[in-house]
Amino acid sequence: DTAVSQTPKYLVTQMGNDKSIKCEQNLGHDTMYWYKQDSKKFLKIMFSYNNKELIINETVPNRFSPKSPDKAHLNLHINSLELGDSAVYFCASSQASGSLTGELFFGEGSRLTVL
């Protein structure tokens, strides 16, 4: 049973196209995230949603739009793709307990290549 699953795993597309990556978690967690990992392996947070509400939006171009239809899903839509968007995008989830936020569970990653 996959805890955090994201699709597609690989995505190759042309510059200027629009694409989406979907993420689902079956852990019952309240909080979901999108992280971007570039070619140097840096892991940088992009967005965080808690119970379908956006709580973190780091400096990310507005071509990137997250959507959370319910607390188990967090999708990422990217408009007008650019070469620099090529990266591995990781979805993750965690459970908050009072003032403590627990372990991050990552999906397998979606490798986006923009040609």
Partner 1 sequence: GENVEQHPSTLSVQEGDSAVIKCTYSDSASNYFPWYKQELGKRPQLIIDIRSNVGEKKDQRIAVTLNKTAKHFSLHITETQPEDSAVYFCAARATGANNLFFGTGTRLTVIP
44 forms part of the interface with partner 1 (CB under 8 A) = yes
55 forms part of the interface with partner 1 (CB under 8 A) = yes
Q: Which is nearer to partner 1, 18 or 103 (CB)?
A: 103
**For residues 115 and 100, what is the distance between their CA atoms, to the nearest angstrom?**
42
By rule CB under 8 A, what string of x and - marks binding of each residue 6-25 to partner 1?
Answer: --------------------
Compute the CA torsion angle 76, 30, 57, 68 (nearest 10 deg).
30
Q: What is the CA radius of gyration of the chain?
A: 14
Q: Which is nearer to partner 1, 48 or 68 (CB)?
A: 48
Query: Applying CB under 8 A, which of residues 12, 18, 42, 113 lies at the interface with partner 1?
Result: 42
Query: What does the binding site for partner 1 look like in residue numbers (CB under 8 A)?
Result: 31, 33, 40-45, 48, 50, 55-56, 58, 90, 94, 96, 99-101, 103-104, 106-109
